[in-house]
Amino acid sequence: MKSIRNVAIIAHVDHGKTTLVDKILHEAKLFRSNQQINELILDNNDLERERGITILSKNVSVTYKDVKINIIDTPGHADFGGEVERVLKMADGVILLVDAFEGPMPQTRFVLSKALSLGLKPIVVVNKVDKENCRPDEVHEAVFDLMFNLEATEEQLEFETLYGSSKNGWMSHDYKQPTDTITPLLDTILEKIPAAPQPEGIPQFQITSLDYSSFVGRIAIGRVYQGSLKEGDFMGLCKSDGTVKKVRIKELHVFEGLGKLRAEEVKAGDICAVTGIEDFEIGDTLTDFENPEEMPRIAIDEPTMNMLFTINNSPFFGKEGKFVTSRHIRDRLFKETEKNLALRVQEGESEDKFIVFGRGILHLAVLIETMRREGYELQVGQPQVIYREIDGQRCEPIEQLVIDLPEEVSGKAIELVSQRKGEMKVMEPKGDMVHLEFEIPSRGLIGLRNNVLTATGGEAVMNHRFKSYEPYKGEIPERSSGSIISMEQGPCTAYALDKLQDRGIFFVEPGDVLYNGQVIGEHSKGSDIVVNVQKGKKLTNVRAAGSDKEAKLAPKKVFSLEEALEYIQKDEYVEITPQTIRLRKIILDENQRKRAAAKI
């Protein structure tokens, strides 16, 4: 029986985690010498590649010196925190990867605290030591301080540190002496990470994540903690309500390289995928049906935000998308809940409306972006935070917000966060930057990133993570500017836009085809304004001096999907089609809007 090491990789977004896994796979000679492969092998979803973030945790395994190493890639972004905790349950040790310039970041802290509390042994890798201005020694100190503050044990504090550059494919115990290989890291894993225990006894397999295949349905992924699983065996599935259901294992697969390998039997200590079980949840235990031994359940993060999803009913519906009906959207959303665990879907007041609950705007934006790429058309409303009643008090989600920015613009950022009920907890220098930490209500974060980046000339780096539910902090002022709304349907003209430039910033340019009720700009005053941008210049046969000057237009403001979701007001929707993102009023007709406003 091969010895097994189960190791999870923890890192902040963009510190080089997925690149490091690439290099380990190369080192283990998983690919033929003539095989063409891409970079970032694990980020196999287009969105992950574009955004440069890992969204879903994944498993790969390599064999090194006859030891099987299961590598578990974890998401670094707090909106996907639900993934992280469960994944760490499968590991016996963690590799903490930190950037040699940036040092440990807030999300690193979040995942590391979970790993330390589970008693996992860390190995620290200080990555990107080939970058200019890097400070490996200071970063090493910062990691030690962080672990100390997170109440790591004596044993955990005696961690091994390696330095290197994943991109250039080397690791070393001393950054002043680069090597040309990544093997020092693999040797350290074998030496420092304990081998997975392989106890005999009644089988115990806990489901920590799941996959979905259109051929076999839902696939349970987890670790065998005790005994062994065999193909074709009848087992007991311990459910959350205390019942034990009889199920049969159809197929077993272990992770081998980047793929899966069919196995007749999987012994304790290994990670595997089980097909053939129906109706299971995360945290369920697969064990003996006659003498069930259930494992402690895993808690899953509750959603903190919800958003209304509805069909696209704008005048331009169905022009670009393949899937436009409520049945299409319903099926797609419920299919997503089978593998996206922090997501919940609830039917709305009418059959074409759905309330979707998620962990944050990024979590929901990734789902919307995936749907539009698949050919869906839909509209979504303003994100709303979820309030809870705790001990008779109305409570709301509070986030920990960290901003790193140049000192000369820090005052503006502090002012913007304070206006949104943010409380400053830490302010300290970090190299030539200032490091600020706040506690702020989740609803205060909606639209904040845009404002802070504008006020600081794009130099602020912002990160936030969910902290806890705390008593309601009071009203937060809404967006101070109103909307500019199109009065007619048809293409807008440069002449009309030129005449209206002093009214605000526009999101459209000449030639864009608009409809009545579409939000086409931001009004410089607090009220909404309806304008006609379709009218052209009246032509006469009399030439007047100066009347033919060319229109000089400011470039239009372009929104990303997250920015659009953060920007809209309560009475607006974001219309999303495979090719366009438009903002619009929920009630398109101006007179009906006025009547509705009068009733409120």
Write out the binding residues for GTP: 14-19, 127-130
**Collapsed DSSP state (helix, strand, coil) of residue 381:** coil
Grouping H, G, I as helix, E, B as strand and the rest as coil, residue 311 is coil
Distance CA 474, CA 99 (A): 38
Q: Which of 85, 60, 67, 63 is nearest to 10 (CA)?
A: 85
Closest by Cα among 581, 396, 568 to 479 = 568
Length of the chain: 600
- With beta carbons less than 8 A apart as the criterion, state whether 112 and 17 touch: no
Rg (C-alpha) for the chain, rounded Å, is 27
Q: Sign of dihedral through CA atoms 130, 135, 136, 142?
A: negative
Question: If we measure between CA atoms, which residue out of 282, 284, 303 comes closest to residue 292?
Answer: 284
Element (H or E) spanning 444, and its range? helix 442-445
Block residue for tokens 């690439």? 22
Give kind and range of the element (H or E) at residue 331. Answer: helix 326-339
Cα 523 to Cα 360: distance, rounded to the nearest angstrom: 28
**Cα separations in angstroms, 445 against 179, 305, 426, 450, 565:** 44, 12, 18, 10, 12
CB crowding 209-238: b at 16 or more within 10 Å, else e: bbbeeeeeebbbbbbbbbbbbebebebbbb
Q: What contacts 388, CB < 8 A, 6 or more positions away? A: 394, 395, 396, 469
Q: Please identify which residue in the block is written with the tokens 């000449």.
A: 510
| CA nearest to 508, candidates 463, 560, 553 | 553
d(CA 8, CA 2): 19
Binding residues, by number, are 14-19, 127-130
Please tell me the distance from the alpha carbon of residue 60 to that of residue 314, in angstroms, as a whole number: 45
Task: Kindly compute the dihedral angle of the four CA atoms of residues 359, 364, 366, 371, in this order, to the nearest 10 degrees.
Answer: 140
Which of 399, 460, 404, 406 shows the shortest CA–CA distance to 435? 404
d(CA 143, CA 388): 35
CA–CA separation, 56 and 84 (whole Å):
9
In degrees to the nearest 10, what's the CA dihedral of 73, 78, 84, 86? -150
Tokens found for residue 22: 């690439």
Distance between CA atoms of residues 200 and 223, nearest Å: 14
CA-CA distance, 546 to 544, in Å (whole number)? 6
